[in-house]
Structure 1
Amino acid sequence: MANRSKLPVDITHEKDRLTNRKKRSNLGTFMNPDHKRMARVIGYTLTIGGADAWAGFTTVTKARMAVEERASLAWAALRSLDTPEQAEQVAKAVLSFADYPLPTFMNPMPDARLWASCASAEELKAYALAAHDAMTLRDQMAFRNHISEVEIAA
């Protein structure tokens, strides 16, 4: 028979170790559940890394955080960089312009929408006006009628 007094783990000490765990902070009970989720999302993103993970983080952040929260996060992230030049480089990368639209081969509308989603407000206005001016008078009138119908529907 085995000697029961010499168990590999002292059961009383193991029970004490499990019950005397470090207590968690009470902050979690007061945190907004969306903020808790976002804390986990940034942890996952940092763990996975890479452009795809950060693009996903951007999508989730936009869906789950208010504009003011996202702006504060961006401000803090830019301020955390070592030099103003680094912050400027990141801001330039985010605010880069779409350049000119590329020619399309089939249906140009999906490509135009994609370009427009990347374009700055100045680019949108400039190309919209230039495109309008380049249309025939008949197409200009049809475009104005279309815009008026969209405004009325909204």
Structure 2
Amino acid sequence: MQPDHKRMSRMLGYTLTIGTPEAWQGFRRVAQVRMTEAERAMLAFFMLNTLSRDLAEGIARFALNAAGDPLPPFLGGMEDARSWAGWATRDELKAYALASFEAMTPQDQAAFFQHISTCEVAA
């Protein structure tokens, strides 16, 4: 067994024994140093697949700091939309942008296209 793998095995045992969020945070830090990204990805994939779909999706969203579904507007559409967009993941932004565009009337789509055509895009 490779020394780093042996250390990680012991670290997992200590973490399970202690069982606190702080212990798991320590495990995360040690794993980041002692395991390759591919090893951590495989561990994450197979561990998520041991959970129910709802729980696995919730944990993945939480880990990625996903914003979830936008809330109904409270103080006005744009302010709430911009606030939500600040929390959303790249995939959420793309999905809601496309769905919103597709739901617009043809006139609104044309106006939106005109608006984004005149905006300067940051590279």
Report the TM-score when normalising by structure 2. 0.53
Q: 2:32 aligns with which of 62, 77, 80?
A: 62
Amino acid at match of 2:62: A
Q: Deviation digits for residues 9-54 of structure 1, max 9, x if unmatched?
A: xxxxxxxxxxxxxxxxxxxxxx111111101100000000111001
Once residues 85 and 70 of structure 1 are traced to their aligned partners in structure 2, the CA distance between those partners, rounded to angstroms, is 22
Once the two structures are superposed, the pairs formed by residues 23-62 of structure 1 within 5 Å of their partners are 31-62=1-32
Shift of the 93–51 alpha-carbon distance from structure 1 to 2, 3 Å rule, reads same
Amino acid at match of 2:57: E
Cross-structure match for 1:86? 55
Q: 1:77 aligns with which of 47, 51, 55?
A: 47
Kindly tell me the number of residue pairs found equivalent between the two proteins: 71
Q: Is the 8 A contact 2:65 2:89 kept in 1?
A: no
Q: CA deviation at 1:120?
A: 7.8
Amino acid at match of 1:88: E
Shift of the 80–97 alpha-carbon distance from structure 1 to 2, 3 Å rule, reads closer
Larger Rg: 1
Cross-structure match for 1:96? 65
Shift of the 90–37 alpha-carbon distance from structure 1 to 2, 3 Å rule, reads same
Report the TM-score when normalising by structure 1. 0.43
Give identity over the alignment, percent. Answer: 48
Once residues 41 and 23 of structure 2 are traced to their aligned partners in structure 1, the CA distance between those partners, rounded to angstroms, is 20
Once residues 35 and 61 of structure 1 are traced to their aligned partners in structure 2, the CA distance between those partners, rounded to angstroms, is 10
Amino acid at match of 2:7: R
Q: Is the 8 A contact 2:8 2:31 kept in 1?
A: yes
Unaligned runs of 5+ in 1: 1-30, 99-118, 123-154
Secondary structure of the residue that 1:47 maps to in structure 2? helix
Shift of the 53–42 alpha-carbon distance from structure 1 to 2, 3 Å rule, reads same
Cα RMSD (Å): 1.9
Q: CA deviation at 1:121?
A: 7.7
Once residues 120 and 56 of structure 1 are traced to their aligned partners in structure 2, the CA distance between those partners, rounded to angstroms, is 27
Amino acid at match of 1:46: L
Q: CA deviation at 1:76?
A: 1.0
Unaligned runs of 5+ in 2: 68-86, 91-123
